Each structure stands twice: as C-alpha cells, then as structure tokens.
Amino acid sequence: MSRQQRQTLDDLLRHGPLDLGGDVAEQRAVFHDMMTSLPLPPDVSTTAGELGGVPVVTVETPANDPATVLLYLHGGAYAIGSAADAAGLAGDVARRTGARAVCVDYRLAPENPYPAAVDDALAVYRALLDDGVPSSAIAFVGESAGGGLAVATLVAAKDAGLPQPSSAAVFSPWADLSVSGNSVVGKAAVDPALTPEGLRTRARDYLRDTDPATPHASPVFADLTGLVPLLIQVGSHEILLDDAVRLAARAAEHDVHVELQVWPQVPHVFQAFAVMLDEADAALQAAAAFTRAHWATTDATDEELPASKESVVPQ
C-alpha cells in the first residue's frame, strides 16, 4: 500500500471545498459537484424510479444478476447527498458483488427530521419484499450516515417483524449521533474530512428534540440481537473510528456475527477512492466477498457462523 497515495488523498480532502456544518443548500451543491466530478464508468447505468413511495436510483452493470439486490444508503450526515450522488460508489460495489444496487433517496434534514430517513429506508426494503425479492437475496450497504442508517434499518425491520436480509456491509458508519466517541477528539487532528462541530450541527438538524441515544437514530445504543452478519470497515484517520469499534462491540455483545476491519492511515469512506488508493480497492474486494459469501450461506445454521471477528488490516 502506498504512503504517497494516502498523502495525496489526505491533501485532496483537507483542502477540499466541503464544509459539513455549513449552510445546507450550499453544501448540497458542493457535495453534488464533488461526487459527480468524474463521469460514471461506461458499464454503469442508472435508472430513476420509486419503491414504497420513496424515490430510488437503480444502479446496474452488465454482469449483474437481477435476482440479487443491494439496498444502498448514501452518506451526507442526513442533510446532504442523494441517491444519484452515490451512484459511483454504489456502482463499484454492484460490479464487484454481481448485484444491482437500489439507492434510496431518503428524505433529508432539516426539512425532514428523524425518523424520516429510517422510515424511507424501511419502506423501500418492505417494497422489495412485497415485489417478491426474497430477503435472502437482499444485502444492505451504507456509507457514513448511510452506514449508521443501514444498521438502524435492520433494527427497525426486526422491530416491525420483517425478515432480515442476508448481510450488511457498512463503511465508516455514523452510528452515534451524540458524537461522544473518544476518537471525536483523539482523531480530530488526522481526520481531513470531518469535524466534531460539523457532525453536531447536522445531528441537531436531523434529531431536533429526539434523544441522540434513540436506538433507531444511534444503533450503538440499540439491541442488535437477531441481526444479520455485519461487516464494518473504517479508517484509522477518522473521528468516527470509535463509532465503528463500539458498533462492532455492541454487535458481538448481542451474539451477532460481526467482522470489523480497521484500515490504517486512511480517511472517512476511503472506499470511494478506489481509482487512486490501493486500500480502497482491497476494502471493496473484501466487502464484495463478504456479501457474496453470505448470499451463499443464507441457510447456514448459527453454529456454522462464528460470533465475531475483529481485525486490523496491516499496511
């Protein structure tokens, strides 16, 4: 893995125009420009539609198996970003897993506070099931706020009596909207993208008067018993490191099969930079392998799956 690649990415993010805690309208435009600055690869197609009354963008590549679906939840701290903005990373995951990705255009704060995002993600999942897609053929994938939302939606699905999907892979999940992890301070100097102040601003926009420890908002505080296998990937150079570590510990505490991968010296949602960062390519390969493996082992018994696994990926 190249130290120069990591430094180049750090410089790019550190001097980028995005201010997570800034004016929402301005930052939505900035984020959109960033995420769409490179055209989609020629083999990736997008189709706008609706599922369960919620706008979605379906992202496909020619090799996709139409029988398998990634329910994809984008990042943006619940206030910025869109399904279309996420098409690049969603398409990369779709290509590697051989599935189509259904990106949920969930409603954003502050116009639509909690629980709008959870309600929308759950509505799309319910619609996929109602359309005849088996839960065993669906996997959840999410990045940043979308990673926390993916786990929150798993909990909401369990609480609603819906079957669990096959697995979930989450990248740098924002899983604690109280912004109370030790890494919020301890990693602030090395995180080139996120700030504690920016996260707290967006958390207030999303939560309003809701307690940040509400399980469907912050799954680090949820009862995760009965959830599907989780893969959690995070960089060591991000203030959300502890969100990932504590989410993995919470899952293990509740007997969930969980794999935690901490990738050294890389930033928040580094997987989005696979064209320039070897670690990102390797992480996406690992996430795709995890997803495919759990489609193949959906009928395995609990005894055949280890309870938990934690790893720090070496340089």
User: Among all residues, which ones are annotated catalytic?
Assistant: 144, 238, 268
Structure tokens at 229: 């296998």
- What's the maximum distance between 2 C-alpha atoms anywhere in the chain? 51
Structure tokens at 253: 């505490």
Burial 168-193 (b: 16+ CB within 10 A, else e): bbbbbbbbbbbbebebbeebeebbbb
Contacting residues for 311 by C-beta, under 8 A, at least 6 apart: 259, 260, 261, 262
Give the CA distances from residue 68 to residues 54, 64, 154, 173, 295, in Å, rounded to whole numbers and listed in that order: 20, 8, 18, 23, 9
**What beta strand segments (E) does the chain contain?**
45-51, 54-60, 65-73, 99-104, 138-143, 167-171, 230-235, 258-263, 308-312
Give the CA distances from residue 64 to residues 99, 150, 203, in Å, rounded to whole numbers and listed in that order: 5, 22, 36
Distance CA 136, CA 16 (A): 40
Q: What is the DSSP letter of 215?
A: T
Looking at residue 15, its amino acid is H
Radius of gyration of the chain (CA): 18
